[in-house]
Amino acid sequence: MRHVAGLLLGLLVLLPASAAEEPMPPPGQDIVYAVTMMGKIPVTAIYALEVGSGLRRLLYRDTDEANRVIVKIGSSDILGAGRTVPPKDVYAITGPAVAPNSPTHQDSISRLRFPDEPEKQAAPERVLPLALSFSDASTCHLWNRAPTFAVSSDASAFAVGAVLRIGETRLDRPTIRVIVTGAEEWRIPLPNSDLYVANLAFSPDAKLLAYSVMPLGDEHTLDVAQLPIAGVYLADLVARTTRLLYPGFIDALAWGAKREQVTVAARVGDFWDTRHVGSVINVPSGQKVREFSLRGYVTALAYSDDGQWLAAQFTDRDQHIWVYPVAGGWGRQAPVSADSGGRVSLLGWARIPPMTGTAPGAEQPGAAPQQ
């Protein structure tokens, strides 16, 4: 496929390119990802990876049964409850491995900050209590009680969704909770219970929230009447209004450094297609201004804080994270890995001091955390 100069990211075709020709993020501009080892109780570790050298630094690993990162089981985005805030913070939903059967139980939105000392790990710092349950079948006991999660670039706003309960309170419809510092919580219900939120992200100024709505179901249970509802919706946090911005089957989205553009990974054909195309959508018009190719099924997109780099997670037979220069280029595959049974999740970007192979805490990607 011929590269077209000037198109955003070029054409994102996953072809090899030599290190001499292909730009890479500078040392200190690292992608952040998680590895979750599945088991009776999942164990999650979070790393920063320097793409050029392949060195990674361990930020966090679950050790405390009473307070650990809560993951979503049964989803390709296994760590939907974690996102980065540059320069070096990760926000995640944390709580006990098995929540107590109590109406007063609360999980928390917690901050994990990369320590200045590379050999040290972060300890969850509770930021906001969060009484919720992802499951409609059980209020507290199921592990997968974490919804998809987003945090604004200044950490003043959080969004979780779509939840079916808030503590002991059952909601009529799946609902996005928008929590802004100093304001009353805003709850955005989806049109009906046959829909879910695939992804959500705040605008750089934290005044808008983009979220992707998708229909639930397989070839036997899908209600085709829900297909026209699918797409990216725009919520105005100031006016407290919502509207459909861009129709389609969108599995991942990311807001770059520009408030007026959101990037989405949309299924190429119909609802059942497992290929994606990238589209850059103008805000507020909803017009597609650019399109680029994505080879494979994309589960997460993340821009660096300066808007110069885009990371994309592909999930097919294997799990890959690719990094592309926005100015143009073929991109390169990041050297991430997980042992058999492990799941990789792209969380975003961080700015931390450059690593060296001899620095404490620096290692080449290897074995994922074991239980």
CB 245 within 8 A of CB 261: no
Residue 359 is assigned to a structural domain of this protein:
no
Residue 21 is assigned to a structural domain of this protein:
no
Residue span of the structural domain in which 230 resides: 29-353
- Structure-derived torsion over alpha carbons of residues 352, 353, 355, 360, reported in degrees to the nearest 10: -90
Q: What is the pLDDT of residue 97?
A: 75
Number of domains in the chain: 1
Residue 248 is assigned to a structural domain of this protein:
yes
Q: What is the pLDDT of residue 48?
A: 93
Give the span between the Cα atoms of 143 and 71, in whole angstroms: 7
Report the CATH number that the domain containing residue 334 is assigned in CATH. Answer: 2.120.10.30
Residue 129 is assigned to a structural domain of this protein:
yes
Residue 202 is assigned to a structural domain of this protein:
yes
Other C-beta atoms closer than 10 Å to the C-beta of 82 total: 29
Q: What is the pLDDT of residue 109?
A: 92
Smallest CA-to-CA distance from 5 within 298, 328, 358, 238 is with 328
Residue 111 is assigned to a structural domain of this protein:
yes
Residue 224 is assigned to a structural domain of this protein:
yes
Query: Structure tokens of 278?
Result: 């990238």
Q: What is the pLDDT of residue 6?
A: 38
Q: What is the pLDDT of residue 69?
A: 87
In tens, the pLDDT along 71-127 reads 765 444 456 778 999 999 999 988 887 766 666 677 889 999 988 887 788 888 999
In tens, the pLDDT along 33-59 reads 999 887 777 888 999 999 988 999 999
Residues 271-278: contacts with CB within 8 Å, 24+ apart?
271/215, 271/222, 271/227, 271/230, 272/219, 273/249, 274/316, 276/251, 276/252, 278/8, 278/9, 278/12
Mean pLDDT by 10 residues, the chain (371 residues): 36 40 87 86 89 90 85 56 91 81 76 84 89 54 66 95 80 91 93 90 96 88 89 97 96 91 93 90 95 86 94 82 87 83 89 72 56 40
Residue 9 is assigned to a structural domain of this protein:
no
CB 222 within 8 A of CB 271: yes
Q: What is the pLDDT of residue 134?
A: 56
Q: What is the pLDDT of residue 60?
A: 92
